A = this chain, B = another copy of it.
Amino acid sequence: MRFFSDNAARVHPSVFAAMAAADSLDTAYDGDRWSRSLDARLGELFEREVRVLWVPTGTAANCLALAALCPPYGGVICHRDAHIQNDEGGAPEFYTHGAKLMLADGPGAKLDPAGVAKVADAIADDVHRVQPHAVSITNATEYGRVYTPAEVAAIGELCRARGWRFHMDGARFANAMATTGAAPAEMTWRAGVDALSFGFVKNGGMSAEALVFFDPDLAAATLRRRKRAGLLLSKGRYLAAQILAMLEDDLWLANGRAANAAATTLAEAAGDRLIHPVEANELFLRATPDEAARLRAQGFDFYDWATGEVRFVTAWDSASEDIDRFAAAIRQL
């Protein structure tokens, strides 16, 4: 019973079916009819004109976005615990040609305008200091916290006031949306977001994430950067088909809800062991090495996060009987 990452979840049957259905002759790269329909399809979802690029990983989506939003000699303010800072092997620096990540603080890997401003205000505006050009937040965060549209908008306002761009890493966007029940537009461009990494792989997809630009002008150079990064798969239709399948009948949202519900069940079992409020599909718990060992002995697989801390991640395909057994095991600790 696997709770170590939604990254390792299975592929949803609808996604597989859509890939099989795309197995016909069409143009290569992103000229096929599946790929060409993405702008319109996501435009509906977001209630405005958008430009959408499929890419095979969330790291690629994030870092193409950062390269579009920040020049090589600039900086991106993000949380100290952000995925782009800690888990992408230096990809932000590679894609931006050396821009600097500027680390802000906040509980549960969440930023707020004050925390962002504090980082920026400490930087003298001269040529010796790298200047911030963008902010990047993760929703849901690396600790399973969720920004509301209002919280996003507050940061978006700061960005506008300072002339910065604004990126949202939505590797778990579905989980955040399931929690808030917000309209996609409210959570993104109406809150000032310029680019969204809209994740599907953790949520039932196989190998396709959508990089969504709310400012179409930002997309043109990114089409070239995507090719230049070796990310333009020749059989792109199989990626576009995955995204379309995830959007069909809001499968993405249903999957997000399922993962969140599983997490809620476990959270109730965990009680005051919880280190962060559980708002999406990740749980961080206090557990002694001995307690962790006992859970593992019962067949539950998860990460040790730090000394005395463990992380559980649920996914769209977490079986309800596994969840129940796991909840029971947690209660018995």
**Which residues of A are interface residues toward B (Cβ below 8 A)?**
2, 5, 7-11, 16, 19-20, 23-29, 55-64, 71-73, 75, 86-91, 93-100, 127-131, 201-202, 206-207, 221, 223-235, 238-239
Contact = CB atoms under 8 A, between A and B. Distances in A.
A231 B228 contact: no
Number of copies: 4
A90 B98 contact: yes
A153 B227 CA distance: 32
Contacts of A95: 230
Contacts of A98: 90, 93-94, 96-98
Contact of A234 (B8, B75, B86, B94): B8
B23 A10 contact: yes
Contacts of A61: 230
Contact of A91 (B7, B11, B96, B229): B229
B2 A56 contact: no
Nearest to A224: B73
A136 B46 CA distance: 43
A233 B89 contact: no
Contacts of A57: 230-234
Nearest to A25: B2
A230 B73 contact: no
Contact of A127 (B60, B206, B224): B224
